Chains A and B, each alone.
Chain A
Amino acid sequence: MAHSHDETEVAVLPPNKEKIKKLWTVAGILGAVTAVEFIFAFTLPHGPLKTAIFVTLTIVKAGYIVLEFMHLRYEVKVLFWSILIPMIFVVWMLVAFVYEGMKMADVNFLRF
């Protein structure tokens, strides 16, 4: 073995079938939710209900990506919470801007 000084032999483990199956299940769920969004996009009338459904489905998809694909569910609790808790600021920004937006819409200075 002439190259043994830089290529150490590494034991390759067999594929974790259970884990791979689970990953494909998550992918299937993401695809299915997107398909459902498409159906709603063309069957429901525009309005607050439609927006609420879309937001809910988006959060479901985001949850699957973050918890399963990004593996956050299986990380240590400190890491899990140090990522999740600061998201409060995003919620605050959302609430503040939507509130502000409604007030500005009342003033309506952009209507022409």
Chain B
Amino acid sequence: MGASYGKLMMWFFLLSDAFTFSGLLITYGLIRSQHPAFTGAVDAFTFSPEYWPIPEKVFEAVPFFHGLEAPLVFVGIMTFILIMSSVTMVLAVEAGHRMDRKAVEKWMLWTILGGITFLSCQAWEWTHFIVGTDTPTLVKDFVNGQWVTKEVFGANLKINQYGPQAFADFFFFITGFHGFHVFSGVLLNFLVYYNTVTGVYQRRGHYEMVEKVGLYWHFVDLVWVFVFTFFYLV
């Protein structure tokens, strides 16, 4: 076909992965469209299982600024980090084309750093989502055969304070699946960095492995672009 076998297979793997993520995001859209939306003014919004929450009201916390309402700021920072690590990855690929081992090492390290930073941010975001806000939401729950109303902080897979249960479940599944991809990407990036440092690619005579893992890393960035829009913005 005129393209190398490894690159071709990476592309086909990414294609199948794109189907998986499309499945998750489209199902999110389907389930969301079945729930009533919040109809009042945005300022008057409160959490309730009766309607789908406005995302910017859920994700408005920033580390070290407890109580500050900064909608989507932290997610914006995470998006920026991931885009930057994508840039350092292409720079590593460019250096690989020139057989510049030192430059590949440098840019791979920056990419790994970006990936770890993103994962740390996500860990904080998950913790905040699970622990919840200062004030609880009253949620009806089915306990021992009867309905009880109780105060709920945060979220898990069974009950949550933000809205319909599907909202929290989708949050865990979609960002979790993406986060797992980032985690695998960091491992692969480290492997490439290790092989670069030990001179494996220099002896092999080409740095195509950087390119292949780079494709995966950009795909992770690509998926985040969609998750950011459909989960956080819309």
Give A contacts to B, CB under 8 Å: 6-8, 10-16, 19-20, 23-24, 27, 30-31, 34, 37-38, 41-42, 46, 50-51, 54-55, 57-58, 61-62, 65-66, 69-71, 75-76, 78-79, 82-83, 86-87, 89-90, 93-94, 97-98, 100-102, 104-105, 108, 110-112
Contacts and interface: CB of A to CB of B under 8 A. Distances in A.
B29 to A, nearest CB: 7
A5 to B, nearest CB: 11
B144 interface: no
A1 to B, nearest CB: 15
B94 A76 contact: no
Nearest to A60: B225
Contacts of A51: 234
13 contacts: A6-B203, A7-B202, A15-B98, A23-B90, A24-B87, A58-B225, A58-B229, A65-B218, A76-B2, A93-B26, A98-B30, A101-B33, A112-B50
Interface residues of B, number: 60
A66 B83 contact: no
B27 interface: yes
A104 B202 CA distance: 58
Contacts of A102: 33
Interface stretch (B71-79, B120-128, B152-160, B172-180): B71-79
Contacts of B135: none
Contacts of B80: 31, 34
Contact of A104 (B22, B34, B86, B98): B34
Contact of B91 (A23, A94, A104): A23
Contacts of A10: 99, 101, 202, 205
B143 interface: no
Contacts of B33: 98, 101-102, 104-105
Q: Which of A7, A16, A34 has the most CB of B within 10 A?
A: A34
Nearest to A84: B15
Interface in B103-149: 103
B188 interface: no
A12 B99 contact: yes
B44 interface: no
